[in-house]
């Protein structure tokens, strides 16, 4: 059986994850955000809303302003500009506008001055607010990942925001905004500290002195021009992609991405609903057609948003974990450190089956609130891909899997069942409750991994590392007891991947319960990925051929047979 070749280590150098961390912003002192932060955190919205109000209530606003300063001297019939020019009030108006601008700038300055952050050896802390102060802290030993987001407008001026993902509900700490260069360096520092390794103080101090000297002697105009130029370059060419980091191991053609959305279950269901409504309108009441348009419009917007989010998708290994980048207009780059993936699911709908496409999702702590719809996008690590793409992605997010376990995933798991199926499936006496999927409905327990296989129309395979498993339960109802079957549920953190498996032989379920309990304790004791070493982390399968060689040899054997 062919072994998975080790990936070459990421090179050292000036990149954001190579070598030692050198950011002067990670020295344990309080630092301020980018000076334009108040504008992008709400000031821009305030300006837009004010413009809309003034445009719609122009006459009322002018009456209020002019009557306050010139009672009885201004009538609504007059043009305000002619009134100002005719009464030599240009200087007064300009001073008034200047006063308003000074007040706004003063408020923005206070917001910026009181918005600070610091990175110590134990925490990432952010303080904000003028009248009502807030102080958020993310312990580094609980960091689940660091997301770097670059909204389209912020990219034009070379700005980005960091989101430190915590291990709890609404536990994320946001650093918004920083310059893109500073954000990349700070992200590398946070991941380095979260790995259990301390920053090189001497190198950081030397870098800090060098940056300070360069700031003092630098030309402000040249710096601003360079920042805008880098922002425009980032908007044209996509997310930051340091030269010393490996390229994406998966490339999704735009045509495949669009076709996958058209052939998704929600699209087919919407099309069937539209056909039913149109048929009902033709033979019933035509006004029902008007109820379709809001649904179609909303679904169309959702589809376009889903496609644009998945464009420029890339996934690659780094020293600090798996780097995933996606987004056409707003670019998001997240790094998932080792040991932060709690469950993985490979799924395939019946509409994708002729094309050989799959998608891969994970359960991981996102640190967001339950009502935050944006957390769903972080669950997908492969929107659509072929078999080789799935192999590459699984090699990154599940680096502990050995070559002997790939047959359990592909031949026996996603594509199965085959001859000599190792999965424990629904017994013959209970096939009535799984009339289509009884052959696929089953589980397989490895040395350190639990596999749950389900579905015929929508095939899914759940992979649960025992070191991340929270608990497992076995449940029976009255009919289950009569048939001597049981339902099993593997508990992980909440997410898209389901750990439920029903209608399994009772004795097999009880045996699984005991084996998982013992295996989870053993795997958790041997697992040290929560405090990883950035110089030794290795999660890369650049070439899926070695990974799939064993399973494909098995396929050839079946064909000869």
- Residue 262 and residue 203 in one domain: no
Instruction: Report yes or no on 3 lying in a domain.
Output: no
Instruction: Report yes or no on 494 lying in a domain.
Output: yes
Q: Are 335 and 320 in contact (CB under 8 A)?
A: yes
- Residue 491 and residue 375 in one domain: yes
Q: Are 314 and 260 in contact (CB under 8 A)?
A: no
The domain boundary, picked from 86, 113, 140, lies at 113
Number of domains in the chain: 4
- CA dihedral over 195, 323, 499, 365, signed as positive or negative: positive
Give residue 67's pLDDT.
Answer: 59
Instruction: Report yes or no on 270 lying in a domain.
Output: yes
Give residue 109's pLDDT.
Answer: 86
Give residue 320's pLDDT.
Answer: 78
- Residue 130 and residue 95 in one domain: no
- Residue 91 and residue 131 in one domain: no
Give the DSSP per-residue string, 324-359: EEE-SSSEEEEEE-TT---EEEEEEETTTGGGT-EE
- Residue 287 and residue 193 in one domain: no
Instruction: Report yes or no on 320 lying in a domain.
Output: no
- Residue 197 and residue 144 in one domain: yes
Instruction: Report yes or no on 263 lying in a domain.
Output: yes
- Cis omega (within 30 of 0) on the bond before 56? no
Which domain does 57 fall in, by range? 43-113
Closest CA to 400 of 323, 454, 485, 341: 341
Q: Are 378 and 397 in contact (CB under 8 A)?
A: no
- Residue 498 and residue 443 in one domain: yes
- Residue 90 and residue 133 in one domain: no
Q: Tell me: the pLDDT tens digits for 54-102?
A: 666 555 656 666 655 555 555 555 666 666 666 666 777 778 778 878 8
Which residue shows structure tokens 């389900």?
454
Give residue 541's pLDDT.
Answer: 44
What is the rounded CA–CA span in Å between residue 483 and residue 503? 9
Give residue 501's pLDDT.
Answer: 93
Which residue shows structure tokens 């506008």?
97
Averages of pLDDT over each 10 residues, the chain, 561 residues:
36 38 74 84 66 62 59 58 66 78 84 88 86 86 84 83 80 85 85 67 50 49 51 44 63 87 78 72 67 72 78 84 84 82 91 91 72 63 90 86 76 83 91 90 90 91 90 90 92 88 92 90 77 48 45 43 38
Give residue 144's pLDDT.
Answer: 82
- CA dihedral over 253, 257, 260, 262, signed as positive or negative: negative
What is the rounded CA–CA span in Å between residue 309 and residue 103? 38
Give residue 494's pLDDT.
Answer: 83
Bridge partners of 463, per DSSP, are 344, 451
- Residue 87 and residue 160 in one domain: no
- Residue 221 and residue 188 in one domain: yes
Residue-wise burial string across 63-98, b where 16 or more C-beta atoms lie within 10 A, e elsewhere: eeebeeeeeeebeeeeebeebbeeeebeeeeeeeee
- Residue 28 and residue 62 in one domain: no
Instruction: Report yes or no on 8 lying in a domain.
Output: no
Instruction: Report yes or no on 520 lying in a domain.
Output: yes
CATH number of the domain at 150, please: 2.30.29
What is the rounded CA–CA span in Å between residue 277 and residue 285? 10
Give residue 531's pLDDT.
Answer: 58
- Residue 161 and residue 268 in one domain: no
Instruction: Report yes or no on 315 lying in a domain.
Output: no
Q: Tell me: the pLDDT tens digits for 244-297?
A: 456 888 888 888 888 888 888 777 777 777 777 777 667 766 666 666 667 777
């Amino acid at each position: 059986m062919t072994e998975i070749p080790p990936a070459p280590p990421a090179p050292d150098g000036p990149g954001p994850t190579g070598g030692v961390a050198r950011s002067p912003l990670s020295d344990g002192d309080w630092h301020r955000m980018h000076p334009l932060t108040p504008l992008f955190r709400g000031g821009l919205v305030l300006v837009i809303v004010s413009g809309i109000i003034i445009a719609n209530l122009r006459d009322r606003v002018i009456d209020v302003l002019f009557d306050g300063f010139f009672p009885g001297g201004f009538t609504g019939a007059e043009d305000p500009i002619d009134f100002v020019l005719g009464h030599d009030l240009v200087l007064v108006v300009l001073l008034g506008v200047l006063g308003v601008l000074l007040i706004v700038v003063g408020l923005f300055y206070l917001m910026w001055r009181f918005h600070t952050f610091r990175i110590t050896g134990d925490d990432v802390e952010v303080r904000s607010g003028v009248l009502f102060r807030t102080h958020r802290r993310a312990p580094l030993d609980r960091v689940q990942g660091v997301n770097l987001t670059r909204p389209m407008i912020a990219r034009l001026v070379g700005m980005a925001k960091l989101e430190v993902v915590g291990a709890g509900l609404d536990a994320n700490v946001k650093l918004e905004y920083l310059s893109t260069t500073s954000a990349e360096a700070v992200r590398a520092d946070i991941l380095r500290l979260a790995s259990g390794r301390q920053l090189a103080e001497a190198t950081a101090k030397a870098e800090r002195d060098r940056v300070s000297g360069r700031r003092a002697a630098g030309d402000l105009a040249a710096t601003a021009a360079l920042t805008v130029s880098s922002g425009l370059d980032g908007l044209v060419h996509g997310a930051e992609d340091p030269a010393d980091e490996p390229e994406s191991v998966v490339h999704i053609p735009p045509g495949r991405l669009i076709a996958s959305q058209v052939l998704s279950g929600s699209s087919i269901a919407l099309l069937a609903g539209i056909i039913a409504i149109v048929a009902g309108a033709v033979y019933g009441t035509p006004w029902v057609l008007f109820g379709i348009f809001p649904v179609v419009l909303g679904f169309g917007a959702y589809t376009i948003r889903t496609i644009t989010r998945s464009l420029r998708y890339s996934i690659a290994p780094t020293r600090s974990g798996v780097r995933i980048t996606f987004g056409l207009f707003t670019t998001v780059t997240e790094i998932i450190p080792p040991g932060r993936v709690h469950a993985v699911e490979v799924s395939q709908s019946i509409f994708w089956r002729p094309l050989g496409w799959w998608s891969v999702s994970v359960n991981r702590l996102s640190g967001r609130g339950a009502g935050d719809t944006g957390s769903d996008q972080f669950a997908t690590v492969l929107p659509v891909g072929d078999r080789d793409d799935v192999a590459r992605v699984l090699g990154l997010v599940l680096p502990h899997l050995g070559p002997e376990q790939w047959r359990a995933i592909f031949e026996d798991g996603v594509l199965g069942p085959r001859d000599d199926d190792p999965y424990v499936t629904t017994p013959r006496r209970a096939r009535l409750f799984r009339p289509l999927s009884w052959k696929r409905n089953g589980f397989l327990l490895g040395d350190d991994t639990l596999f749950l296989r389900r579905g015929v129309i929508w095939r899914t395979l759940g992979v649960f590392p025992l070191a991340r498993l929270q608990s497992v339960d076995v449940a029976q109802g009255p009919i289950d007891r009569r048939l001597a079957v049981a339902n099993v549920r593997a508990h992980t953190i909440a997410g898209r991947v389901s750990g439920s498996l029903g209608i399994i032989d009772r004795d097999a379920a009880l045996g699984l319960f005991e084996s998982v309990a013992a295996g989870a304790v053993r795997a958790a004791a041997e697992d040290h990925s929560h405090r990883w070493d950035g110089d030794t982390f290795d999660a890369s399968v650049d070439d899926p051929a070695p990974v799939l060689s064993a399973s494909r040899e098995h396929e050839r054997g079946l064909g000869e047979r």
